[in-house]
Structure 1
Amino acid sequence: MMMKKKVAFYTLGCKLNFSETSTIARSFQDEGFDRVEFEEVADIYVINTCSVTENADKQFKQVVRKAMKLNEKAFVAAVGCYAQLKPEELAAVDGVDLVLGATEKFKITDYINDLSKNDFGEVHSCEIVEADFYVGSYSIGDRTRAFLKVQDGCDYKCTYCTIPLARGISRSDTMDNVLRNAKEISEQNIKEIVLTGVNIGDYGKGEFGNKKHEHTFFELVRNLDKVEGIERLRISSIEPNLLKNETIDFVSKSRTFVPHFHIPLQSGSNDILKKMKRRYMRELYSERVAKIREVMPHACIGVDVIVGFPGETDEHFLDTYRFLNDLDISYLHVFTYSERDNTEAADFDGVVPANVRAKRSKMLRGLSVKKRRAFYESQLGTSRTVLFEGENREGYIHGFTENYVKVKAPWNPELVNTLQEITLTKIDEDGLVRFDFVAEFA
């Protein structure tokens, strides 16, 4: 009897990539392959790439080297955003055999007939205008939560961003298909679904570049809230101009949607927001935060911010710092601006020196630590529900409350993938909320 071929996957980048990797992995399993961990010897290694930062490019080469160390005869395939943007560059990386662009990645098993190594990677890519169809995805079996893709692509023209070049126009899954996928996930004993996409607030645009919205994001949220068997639904990153008051009000009373919002800001300076071609000013951002706090005082609010954008003076940066310091938010994701080919901003004057970018980044990361600590302290004494995850890290099990407070407890396998109501009482020296369960869980 022939041995089954083994395939392993590595995902760089965002939650959307994780959902798509899982869908690609299921297509391999449907073709009779055995999925193994990336740290194991495999016949095929598939790397789902990211192009958001310069660091992601470097990471790709490291991952290829890791695969080659595990099995120098293995077939290595690259898919994803970087594979669409710079296929020839990836194909030239030593060890890479196949590079698939945006329209081809979900057909990868059609290209895996001959697993012999190539001297130079074979490229199958497309013009991004051809990426006008939608492939639904969700991740399952990897963790206690699933990432459910509801939308892909973006019609925004932010001057620093390559995502529209890598993923194409904004297009959405059908309502029926999203609800079907959510039901499938709920039947797998997964407790939490995270909605993901490139610009999920733009949900509802048809497949073929049809600008008309068949549905709205609010309708999606309302319908998902009715799906039986889902314990928790979480909205991933959503643009402030697309997060409407009706959605915020609905989440505050929802059966399943949790009080956690991640809202990109990118800069607290209106001058810089204009240069970035963002679709709001900081005043609108303040209004969104105030609205969330009005109806959900305990909500967690995360913020994306970019430092070192061309033309960002010390005064612009301090404007951002003061704005964020005064804002009632819970944590920051700080990105150091890096030049990306084929973006408007790459040609802007006022380049910020690398050491200045690093210093600003460090200042905002410090502010994030302070904000997270203050948020956790504000939650002490409250009763929250924690979803515990499956990993034993140095004798502890970790999980998140509905409002995204990270909790740790002494390791107990019985707690994995369970929801436990606890009172948040103390913050440990590592900054996490620590909880010691009573005797029945000991």
Structure 2
Amino acid sequence: MKKVAFYTLGCKLNYSESSSIARMFEQKGYSKVEFNESPDIFIINTCSVTENADKKCRKIVREAQKINPDGYVAIIGCYAQLKPKEISEIPGVDAVLGAAEKFRLADLIGTFKKTPSGQPAQVLASHIDNAVDYHTSYSLNDRTRTFLKVQDGCDYPCSYCTIPLARGKSRSDTIGNIVKAAYEIAARNVKEIVLTGVNIGDFGLQNGERKETFLDLVKALDEVEGIERFRISSIEPNLLTDEIIEFVAQSRRFAPHFHIPLQSGSNKVLGLMKRRYKRELYAERVAKIKSLMPDCCIGVDVIVGHAGETQEYFEESYKFLNELDISYLHVFTYSERENTAALAIRPIVPKATRSDRSKMLHILSEKKKRHFYEQQINKKGTVLFEDEVDNGQMLGFTENYIRVAVKYDPLLINETKEVLYSSLNENGFMEVQEVEEVLLHV
């Protein structure tokens, strides 16, 4: 029995796909092992979002060769689709598979014989227009939380982004298939499902035609028995409708937590980015959420140092973010990408300036997060505990994404408990009391 191991870089979507491809291998008789357990086959699922994609890929390949010099190395993922020839020239790589080929990896490669030294790696990466099929995917690496892919690809030509070139056009699974997958996940005693995709608000496109909507999907999943809560990973502000917000506010299973990409608080920069909204709409979305769910957690994606972001525009963006009632930021430093419209935009922001702006927003994020946590003290929430220990304490997330730390107790793993938020510890985690204990002491 050949052993196969996976290493996944990048987003939740990549993790869901790696896990699904791994199960395909297991169905064919392969044994899935950890990366350091001397597998016969190494599969590296790559990302193209950061400028270090090349360095990370090369490093993982080197590590694979140290672990098993005779191991077969296959590269898949966004970076593999964008630069297959470049990857094929990395010493130790045996095969590179594109977006249309990765789910047929086991069939296409077959025997997984190591490429003789000096010979080029096998490249199986067709044009992105061939990536039209949809493959249901979900992760099962974490007992408490699963990433369920509901949508793939993107039709939005943002000026900084290569994702449409790496994943193709927007396409979705059917609601029926997704509900079926949710029940399969529930049967594994998973308590939380995170819905993921490239542009999940665009859900419903099948063969280029809109058959269903994201609101339809949310309503259907809210009826799934066995899953305690669903979480929406990220949704564009122009696709987050009042109807979706209103449904989540009164739903049985959807968590009061939204992650909404903003990218810039300057309308001028949003225009340069070719985003499909202005900051006024974003502020309206946040206000709508908070009016219905005052304790809702709202996360924000922001890009700093985009071409054309002058100091004035950055300060405008910072001020907008500072005044928004949000909970945390995910800060990305802009890096140039081949075949993107942003390359023609001027002025170019110096890298040192990009770094300084990033630091400012990371500090702002910490302030926002701490303020959000402090607002929750003396309120109640429900924690789903994970098999993760930090300085002798086990960790978990509440429905509104507050990170909680309690004394380690193996009986709590994958269990939900109602708690009373009491204080923040030195690591910024929330200290709590069980509601049952609180009532006993009243």
State the TM-score bracket (shorter-chain normalisation): over 0.9
- 1:438 positional shift: 10
Give the whole-Å Cα distance in 2 for the aligned partners of 1:229 and 1:249.
23
Q: Which residue of 1 aligns with 2:440?
A: none
For 1:259, the aligned partner's letter is: P
Q: Which residue of 2 aligns with 1:33?
A: 30
Does residue 383 in structure 1 map to residue 369 in structure 2? no
Does residue 191 in structure 1 map to residue 191 in structure 2? yes
Q: Which residue of 1 aligns with 2:348?
A: 351
Give the whole-Å Cα distance in 2 for the aligned partners of 1:190 and 1:115.
37
Aligned-partner SS, 1:158: coil
For 1:371, the aligned partner's letter is: K
Aligned-partner SS, 2:74: strand
Q: Which residue of 2 aligns with 1:269?
A: 266
2:400 to 399, 403, 409: 403
Give the whole-Å Cα distance in 2 for the aligned partners of 1:314 and 1:143.
46
Matching of residues 316-335 of structure 1 within 5 Å: 316-335=313-332
Give the whole-Å Cα distance in 1 for the aligned partners of 2:116 and 2:136.
31
- 1:437 positional shift: 6.4
Give the whole-Å Cα distance in 2 for the aligned partners of 1:38 and 1:121.
21
Whether the 8 Å CA contact 1:9–1:47 is kept in 2: the answer is yes
Q: Structure 1 stretches of 5 or more lacking a match?
A: none
1:63 to 35, 60, 64: 60
Q: Which residue of 2 aligns with 1:304?
A: 301
For 1:70, the aligned partner's letter is: I
Give the whole-Å Cα distance in 1 for the aligned partners of 2:430 and 2:7.
31
Give the whole-Å Cα distance in 2 for the aligned partners of 1:47 and 1:418.
32
Give the whole-Å Cα distance in 1 for the aligned partners of 2:86 and 2:10.
18
Does residue 236 in structure 1 map to residue 228 in structure 2? no
Give the whole-Å Cα distance in 2 for the aligned partners of 1:7 and 1:94.
20
Q: Deviations over 1:250-269 (max 9, x none)?
A: 00110000000000000000
For 1:36, the aligned partner's letter is: V
Does residue 360 in structure 1 map to residue 357 in structure 2? yes
Aligned-partner SS, 1:54: coil
Give the whole-Å Cα distance in 2 for the aligned partners of 1:349 and 1:437.
55
For 2:167, the aligned partner's letter is: R
For 1:113, the aligned partner's letter is: T
Does residue 165 in structure 1 map to residue 165 in structure 2? yes
Give the whole-Å Cα distance in 2 for the aligned partners of 1:439 and 1:414.
16
Quote the RMSD (CA, aligned, Å).
Answer: 1.4
Does residue 72 in structure 1 map to residue 73 in structure 2? no
Q: Deviations over 1:394-442 (max 9, x none)?
A: 32211100000001112221111111111110100111112466999xx
Whether the 8 Å CA contact 1:97–1:118 is kept in 2: the answer is no
Give the whole-Å Cα distance in 1 for the aligned partners of 2:196 and 2:307.
29
- 1:68 positional shift: 1.4
Identity among equivalent positions (%) equals 58
Q: Deviations over 1:107-161 (max 9, x none)?
A: 1111141332444321000111111111111111434111111100000010000
Q: Which residue of 1 aligns with 2:40?
A: 43
Give the whole-Å Cα distance in 2 for the aligned partners of 1:379 and 1:37.
39
Give the whole-Å Cα distance in 1 for the aligned partners of 2:240 and 2:169.
20
For 2:168, the aligned partner's letter is: G
Q: Which residue of 1 aligns with 2:202?
A: 202
Whether the 8 Å CA contact 1:409–1:437 is kept in 2: the answer is no
Q: Which residue of 2 aligns with 1:114?
A: 112
- 1:5 positional shift: 1.2
Q: Deviations over 1:349-398 (max 9, x none)?
A: 21100000000000000000000000000011111111111123332211
Q: Which residue of 2 aligns with 1:283?
A: 280
Aligned-partner SS, 2:52: helix
Could you list the structure 1 runs, at least 4 aligned residues long, displaced by more than 3 angstroms after superposition: 435-440
Aligned-partner SS, 1:389: strand
Give the whole-Å Cα distance in 2 for the aligned partners of 1:143 and 1:239.
28
Aligned-partner SS, 2:337: coil
Q: Which residue of 2 aligns with 1:252?
A: 249
- 1:55 positional shift: 2.0
Whether the 8 Å CA contact 2:76–2:102 is kept in 1: the answer is yes
Matching of residues 85-164 of structure 1 within 5 Å: 85-110=82-107, 111-119=109-117, 120-164=120-164
Aligned-partner SS, 1:390: strand
Give the whole-Å Cα distance in 2 for the aligned partners of 1:225 and 1:289.
23
Q: Which residue of 2 aligns with 1:434?
A: 431
Q: Deviations over 1:34-77 (max 9, x none)?
A: 11112322111111000011023321111112211111111111
Give the whole-Å Cα distance in 1 for the aligned partners of 2:55 and 2:112.
28
Whether the 8 Å CA contact 2:379–2:420 is kept in 1: the answer is yes
Give the whole-Å Cα distance in 2 for the aligned partners of 1:381 and 1:282.
33
Q: Structure 2 stretches of 5 or more lacking a match?
A: 438-442
Q: Which moved more, 1:196-205 or 1:143-152?
A: 143-152
For 1:114, the aligned partner's letter is: F
Give the whole-Å Cα distance in 2 for the aligned partners of 1:172 and 1:114.
31
For 2:280, the aligned partner's letter is: E
Give the whole-Å Cα distance in 1 for the aligned partners of 2:90 and 2:104.
22
Does residue 21 in structure 1 map to residue 52 in structure 2? no
Structure 2 length-normalised TM: 0.96
Give the whole-Å Cα distance in 1 for the aligned partners of 2:219 and 2:279.
28
Whether the 8 Å CA contact 2:41–2:112 is kept in 1: the answer is no
Aligned-partner SS, 1:61: helix
